[in-house]
């Protein structure tokens, strides 16, 4: 029995050893197969200190696909249209346009003033609102994927109507204001310089204004003093001895000189310009070549502007100079008719020299009034008016 028991124990020991070897072999095979399976499957293998850790990334494509789907999810846009009183606006046409203009929708505002757009792609969008009797309104925003975007209330406004209104100003008023400026023009601050305009587009003078300028120039103190000085020079040189000397002779000379000045001024500056509808003033050029300015100045004796604004032969100055020469010859003691032609040519030459003086000298020495702004002439203005609903 003892021997049998010993054999039995020995067999158990051998079986235990075999079992341990079998278990170890099976564990090794299991770990090897697992590692091989993880290595062949998609994923990353990370070796750590306590063994092999397999990070499975087989689900990443699904995650990426889900993110792309989320970014492409359409959204919704809703809002309300109101009028200026704060009441809902019914029937306003609301238009939605995506940034790339690949998506557009239109919808009217309902009875509650609301509108809505569905299945709108994400991204930048623009809304425009159009309603009869109101001005166009717009709104821009950014729609996120799957978002329901609530647009702030859009308030319609009454449009501004721009109407062209022709405002006509009496040209006589314009010319009157311009003549008032001319009557303040003085060379060196005291010598009258009324018969020149520095406006190339000056308004035409009326007959009244032409006579007003002639009268203003004739009674100016400087004009009177100039005549008195010339009479004194004549008396000092004993010109026109028929007048004699002394106070009586001086008075005759002064009366003759002053009468000649007044007659010439009215003939060339008022009477003939009124009859022939011409402008007696010198139109200052001031720009262009020196040759063109000299021509403007010298031709002043034979060319002038008509009341129609066009350049024409200066018949007024020609007739006025001839008439002035005739009167001068008549009122002076020497009544030689041949002197009329000489005096006429002298007066024409004086007109050209006066033009040179006006064009190149007088402007620098003339004190001009400060303009407060040109009066409005014939023009069309835009007047903004707000229309009613």
Least confidently predicted of 90-99, 217-226, 249-258, 298-307: 90-99
At 123-182, the pLDDT tens digits run: 899 999 988 777 788 899 898 998 999 999 898 887 666 566 666 778 899 999 999 999
**Mean pLDDT value across the chain:** 80
DSSP 8-state code for residue 279: -
Of the listed ranges 281-290, 306-315, 370-379, the least confidently predicted one is 370-379
Answer whether 0.85 is exceeded by the pTM. Answer: no
Confidence category of residue 378, pLDDT binned at 50, 70, 90: very low
| pLDDT tens-place string over residues 253-306 | 999 999 999 999 999 999 999 999 999 999 999 999 999 999 999 999 999 999
**Over 60: is that where the pLDDT of 388 sits?**
no
The span from the CA of 356 to the CA of 344, in Å, is 19
- Fold of domain 73-158: Immunoglobulin-like (2.60.40)
3-state secondary structure of 243: helix
Only one residue has tokens 């090794």, namely 28
Per-residue pLDDT tens digits for 183-203: 999 999 999 999 999 998 899
Q: Which of 40, 58, 60, 78 is nearest to 154 (CA)?
A: 78
pLDDT at 62: 55
Give the Cα separation of 238 and 245 in Å (integer). Answer: 8
Q: Which helix (H) or strand (E) holds 116?
A: strand 114-120
Domain ranges of the chain: 73-158, 171-379
Is 329 or 384 the better-scoring residue by pLDDT? Answer: 329
In sequence order, the β-bridge partners of residue 108 are 93
The separation between CA 269 and the C-alpha centre of its own chain, rounded to angstroms, equals 42
346-355: per-residue pLDDT in tens? 899 999 999 9
Of the given ranges (50-54, 78-82, 367-371), which has the lowest mean pLDDT? 50-54
Q: Are 70 and 146 in contact (CB under 8 A)?
A: yes
* pLDDT for the residue numbered 65: 55
pLDDT at 371 over 80: no
What is the distance between the terminal CA atoms of the chain, rounded to a whole angstrom? Answer: 127
Residue 48 pLDDT > 50, yes or no? no
Task: Tell me what pLDDT residue 368 has.
Answer: 67
Please work out, in degrees rounded to the nearest 5, the angle formed at the alpha carbon of residue 23 by the alpha carbons of 21 and 24. 65
More confidently predicted of 15 and 322: 322
């Amino acid at each position: 029995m003892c021997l049998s028991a010993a054999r039995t124990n020995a067999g158990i020991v051998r079986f235990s050893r075999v079992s341990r070897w079998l278990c170890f072999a099976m564990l090794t095979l299991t770990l090897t197969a697992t590692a091989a399976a993880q290595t062949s499957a998609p994923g990353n293998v990370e070796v750590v200190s306590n063994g092999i850790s397999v990070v499975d990334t087989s689900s990443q494509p699904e995650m990426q696909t889900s993110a792309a789907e989320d970014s492409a999810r359409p959204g919704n846009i809703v809002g309300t249209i109101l009028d200026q009183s704060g009441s809902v606006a019914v029937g306003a046409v609301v238009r939605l346009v995506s940034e790339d203009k690949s998506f557009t929708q239109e919808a009217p505002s309902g009875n509650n003033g609301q509108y809505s757009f569905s299945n709108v792609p994400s991204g930048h969008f623009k809304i425009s609102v159009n309603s009869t009797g109101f001005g166009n309104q717009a709104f821009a925003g950014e729609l996120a994927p799957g978002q329901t975007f609530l647009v702030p209330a859009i308030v319609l406004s009454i449009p501004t109507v721009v109407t062209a209104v022709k405002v006509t100003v009496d040209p006589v008023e314009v010319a009157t204001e311009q003549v008032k400026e001319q009557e303040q023009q003085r060379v060196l601050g005291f010598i009258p310089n009324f018969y020149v305009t520095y406006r190339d587009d000056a308004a035409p003078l009326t007959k009244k204004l032409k006579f007003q300028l002639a009268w203003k120039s004739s009674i100016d103190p400087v004009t009177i003093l100039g005549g008195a000085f010339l009479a004194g020079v004549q008396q000092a040189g004993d010109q026109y001895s028929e007048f004699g000397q002394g106070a009586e002779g001086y008075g005759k000379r002064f009366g003759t000189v002053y009468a000649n000045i007044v007659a010439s001024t009215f003939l060339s500056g008022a009477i003939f310009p009124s009859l022939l509808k011409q402008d007696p003033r010198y139109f200052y050029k001031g720009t262009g070549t020196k040759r063109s300015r000299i021509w403007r100045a010298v031709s002043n004796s034979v060319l002038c502007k008509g009341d129609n604004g066009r350049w024409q032969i200066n018949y007024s100055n020609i007739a006025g100079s001839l008439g002035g020469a005739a009167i001068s010859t008549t009122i002076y003691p020497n009544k030689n008719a041949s002197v009329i032609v000489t005096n006429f040519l002298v007066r024409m030459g004086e007109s050209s020299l006066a033009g040179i003086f006006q064009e190149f000298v007088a402007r620098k020495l003339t004190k001009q009034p400060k303009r407060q702004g040109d009066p409005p002439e014939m023009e069309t203005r835009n007047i903004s008016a707000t229309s009613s609903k």
